[in-house]
A and B are shown apart, each in its own frame.
Chain A
Amino acid sequence: MRRHPWLALTAGFGGLLLLMAAAQLGALFMIDNLRDSGTQVQRRFLERSRTLEQIRSSIYLSGTVARDSLLAPAASASSQLAEVNRLHQQTDEALDKYQKSIEPEESAAFANLRSEIEAYWRVLDRTFAWSDAERMEYRYQFFYSELIPRRTTMLQIADRVGQLNEQALLRGDQQFSGRFEQLRLGLIGMTVLTLIGGLTLAVNTSVLILRLQNEVHTRLNENIEAKTSLRELSAKLVRAHEEERRALSRELHDEAGQSFSAILLEAENLLDEPHRDSVRPHLESIRGMAERGLAAARNLALLLRPSMLDDFGLVPALNWQARELAKRTGLRVQVSAAELSASLPEEHKTCIYRVVQEALNNVAKHAQASTAQVTLTLRNEGFIDLTVQDDGSGFDSARVRGLGLLGMEERVHHLGGEFVVDSQPGLGTRLKVNLPYADLAAAAAAATNGVHDTNTDFAGRRS
């Protein structure tokens, strides 16, 4: 069922439908059958009744004819004999006909009837062979003691056979109602069977569907979990990366930078002392190298992560970034973020700084712009809006999606924010970010305190 649910379903539904069709057809067939056999029983009963009636009337008539011939003058006897013979033959035919459809229950009675009738005909035949004298002498005696009792007996037997025939009809009726009962039971059985089959199928199908649904649900959850953990991992990586940059930046600034400063100072102190001329160029070379080392350490540290971001907060860092870019490339960058404070959560600070950095670098590299505007606003609904807009050449933002943009987008999505780049060739570029900001009250309070009180968090820089 797990591997081939379609097979199980086809078998189940097909079986159920076949069962129902078979039940219907069977019922139809049985009803037809029943109707046929009922008609047959009735027809046979009527036919036999008619035959018996014929036998009975032939015997009656023959008796009457015999009586008439006994009473009548001899001259008419021959025509009466012919009449009796006709009746005899008719009776025989009726008997033969009846014999064909005889039931086992009535065979004894029927045989009895038949022998009685045979004997009757024999007795009757004998009277026609009499002379007139014999007729005159025996006719009354024969009539009352022979003919009438015989006829009465025969008619009684015929009645019994008739009764038996009626019994046969009754039996047919019983058989009919028996078969009807059978049909009823059969139908009930089929219905019960169909119900059980249907129920089983329904239960199985429900179980299957529930199981499938469960499975889908589990898979979906797994998928969501996998995505979440992937996203968490990526966020962790970004954090770790940033932390590393911060540590490296500090190390470069504090250790390497200070050491170069010390070397520089030592060299200068030595240069003040009286030396042989051969030493002086070496000292000057040392001083030059220390100066270059100091500048390199400082620049590298700033490149990795500007110390203002940790020492004073986001806005001073953004201003520095803007000044640096202006010095390096001539791009005019305006930063307006008056009401923003330094008390943003660390991750928000870093995210905004990195997004602005990347965006401004893109502007400087690709946009051929003369000015760029960075705007940061704190919206009341708990969002920070960031816009970076330039007046450069723009690009098709629907088609171009560089690694830098993807990186920015990823950072923004980690914090549950939205990231939109809107640009068209010739119309400049506008990058919009909005980040949800949970601690709105704290932000508002910090904003009213102003930007001056921001140098509290760099006491621990070297700890």
Chain B
Amino acid sequence: MECMTPIRILLADDHNLLRDGLRLLLERQPGFAVVAEAGDGREALRLAEQHRPDVAVMDIAMPLLNGIDATKRIADTCAPTSVIILSMHHDESYIVRALNAGARGYLLKDSLKADLIGAVKAVSQGHSYFSPQIRALLQEDYFREMSDKHKTDSFELLTAREREILQLAAEGKSNKDVAQLLNLSQYTVETHRAHILQKLNLHTVPELILYAVRKGIIH
């Protein structure tokens, strides 16, 4: 399917060598096309608006405009573009902020080759993607927090149907898609979704995604 229309990719990293390496890696992949390269956040924003790529691969630490702010602007203005954050930071605070800004994937620079191809594919199809280390980290932190605070896992409160909807929503499906997939009315899906957010004490889609990753519901 993706052989017919290639996935159009924007690369944004201020480190030229790394960018060259990334380009080489991506262009070897059939069905991938790097359409633009940016050396700073502002350029990335401008090129994203100009080329409307399917996926933007973005570093966090960039001059002029950092990757997280650039992601927020791209998510706001260039609707079809999904952003994958590429970073050396493997702390929760960066991941949470990247997700809040609208990023759909978060990769560590330690394991680019293994993850990047899969991440670009997943994100271009509307799914989320995180490096295995990131998933492990988030899950580990989550379990430690749970045991530290002696909290009961609110996941147990969800019904089977709600768990199903939680996974689909976290994978990036819209209410309409979920309704079609499960053969439910869109209104029912919306009600379920509201219940899920309430039971888990969550408020936004990024929080939902983060929760799903932490619980190991999605990859």
Residues of A within 8 A of B (CB): 253-254, 257-259, 261-262, 264-266, 268-269, 272, 291, 294-295, 298, 306-308, 311-312, 316-317, 319-320, 323, 326-327, 332, 334, 371, 452, 455, 458-459, 461-463
Give the interface segment out of B50-58, B89-97, B158-166, B179-187. B89-97
B117-163 CB contacts (< 8 Å) to partner A: 140-141, 144, 148
A-B pairs with beta carbons under 8 A, tally:
97
Give the interface segment out of B21-29, B77-85, B210-218. B21-29
CA distance A462 to B90 in the complex (A): 19
Question: In the complex the two chains form, is A269's CB within 8 Å of B25's CB?
Answer: yes
Q: 10 nearest interchain CB pairs?
A: A265-B21, A316-B93, A268-B113, A262-B17, A261-B109, A262-B18, A258-B15, A462-B63, A332-B148, A257-B88
| Least Cβ–Cβ distance between A136 and chain B, in angstroms | 171
CA distance A279 to B116 in the complex (A): 25
For the complex with contacts A268-B25, A272-B28, A308-B93, 8 further pairs of A-B residues with Cβ separation under 8 Å are A257-B88, A258-B18, A266-B21, A269-B24, A308-B94, A323-B92, A334-B148, A455-B69
CA distance A312 to B98 in the complex (A): 12
Question: In the complex the two chains form, is A253's CB within 8 Å of B18's CB?
Answer: no
Question: In the complex the two chains form, is A265's CB within 8 Å of B22's CB?
Answer: yes
Residues of A near B61 (CB, < 8 A) are 253-254, 461-462
Give B24-58 as 1s and 0s: 1 = Cβ < 8 Å from A's Cβ atoms.
11001000000000000100000000000000000
CA distance A459 to B72 in the complex (A): 13
Question: In the complex the two chains form, is B63's CB within 8 Å of A261's CB?
Answer: no
Contacts known (A264-B110, A294-B88, A461-B61); A319 close to B93, Cβ less than 8 A: yes
Residues of A near B24 (CB, < 8 A) are 269
Residues of A near B69 (CB, < 8 A) are 455, 459
Question: In the complex the two chains form, is B88's CB within 8 Å of A253's CB?
Answer: yes
Contacts known (A455-B69, A462-B61, A462-B63); A265 close to B93, Cβ less than 8 A: no
Question: In the complex the two chains form, is B109's CB within 8 Å of A326's CB?
Answer: no
Question: In the complex the two chains form, is B113's CB within 8 Å of A265's CB?
Answer: yes
Contacts known (A262-B17, A334-B148); A269 close to B91, Cβ less than 8 A: no
Question: In the complex the two chains form, is A307's CB within 8 Å of B89's CB?
Answer: yes
CA distance A261 to B21 in the complex (A): 9
Contacts known (A307-B89, A308-B94); A262 close to B15, Cβ less than 8 A: yes
Q: With an 8 A cutoff between CB atoms, is B75 at the interface? A: no
Q: With an 8 A cutoff between CB atoms, is B202 at the interface? A: no
Question: In the complex the two chains form, is A264's CB within 8 Å of B141's CB?
Answer: no
Residues of A near B112 (CB, < 8 A) are 261, 264-265, 268
Interface centre among B18, B63, B65, B88 (most CB of A within 10 A): B88
Question: In the complex the two chains form, is A259's CB within 8 Å of B17's CB?
Answer: yes
Residues of A near B190 (CB, < 8 A) are none
Contacts known (A269-B21, A319-B93); A261 close to B88, Cβ less than 8 A: yes
| Least Cβ–Cβ distance between B58 and chain A, in angstroms | 14
Which partner residue on chain A sits nearest B70 by CB separation? A459
Residues of B near A319 (CB, < 8 A) are 92-93
| Least Cβ–Cβ distance between B91 and chain A, in angstroms | 5
Residues of A near B68 (CB, < 8 A) are 455
Chain B interface size range: 35 or more
| Least Cβ–Cβ distance between A296 and chain B, in angstroms | 12
Q: With an 8 A cutoff between CB atoms, is B62 at the interface? A: yes
Interface centre among B61, B63, B101, B140 (most CB of A within 10 A): B61
Which listed residue, B20, B22, B62, B101, touches A462 by the CB 8 Å rule? B62
Contacts known (A262-B17, A265-B18); A308 close to B91, Cβ less than 8 A: yes
CA distance A320 to B90 in the complex (A): 10
Question: In the complex the two chains form, is A312's CB within 8 Å of B97's CB?
Answer: yes
Residues of A near B18 (CB, < 8 A) are 258, 261-262, 265
| Least Cβ–Cβ distance between A450 and chain B, in angstroms | 12
Which partner residue on chain B sits nearest A456 by CB separation? B69
Question: In the complex the two chains form, is A294's CB within 8 Å of B93's CB?
Answer: no
CA distance A298 to B90 in the complex (A): 9
Residues of B near A308 (CB, < 8 A) are 91, 93-94
Question: In the complex the two chains form, is B109's CB within 8 Å of A257's CB?
Answer: yes
Which partner residue on chain B sits nearest A253 by CB separation? B88
Which partner residue on chain A sits nearest B19 by CB separation? A262
Residues of A near B41 (CB, < 8 A) are 459
Question: In the complex the two chains form, is B28's CB within 8 Å of A320's CB?
Answer: no
| Least Cβ–Cβ distance between A208 and chain B, in angstroms | 68
| Least Cβ–Cβ distance between B63 and chain A, in angstroms | 5
Contacts known (A307-B89, A326-B144); A462 close to B14, Cβ less than 8 A: yes
Residues of A near B175 (CB, < 8 A) are none
Which partner residue on chain B sits nearest A371 by CB separation? B148
| Least Cβ–Cβ distance between B113 and chain A, in angstroms | 4
Q: With an 8 A cutoff between CB atoms, is B64 at the interface? A: yes
Which partner residue on chain B sits nearest A462 by CB separation? B63
Question: In the complex the two chains form, is A320's CB within 8 Å of B109's CB?
Answer: no
Residues of A near B174 (CB, < 8 A) are none
Question: In the complex the two chains form, is A455's CB within 8 Å of B17's CB?
Answer: no
CA distance A307 to B90 in the complex (A): 11
| Least Cβ–Cβ distance between A120 and chain B, in angstroms | 150
| Least Cβ–Cβ distance between B121 and chain A, in angstroms | 17
| Least Cβ–Cβ distance between B132 and chain A, in angstroms | 14
Contacts known (A258-B15, A308-B93, A316-B93); A295 close to B110, Cβ less than 8 A: yes
Which partner residue on chain B sits nearest A459 by CB separation? B66
| Least Cβ–Cβ distance between B46 and chain A, in angstroms | 16
CA distance A298 to B141 in the complex (A): 19
Q: List 22 A-B contacts (CB under 8 A).
A: A257-B88, A258-B17, A258-B18, A258-B109, A259-B15, A259-B17, A262-B20, A264-B110, A266-B21, A268-B25, A269-B113, A294-B88, A295-B110, A306-B91, A323-B91, A323-B141, A323-B144, A455-B69, A459-B66, A459-B69, A461-B61, A462-B61
Which partner residue on chain B sits nearest A266 by CB separation? B21
| Least Cβ–Cβ distance between A165 and chain B, in angstroms | 129
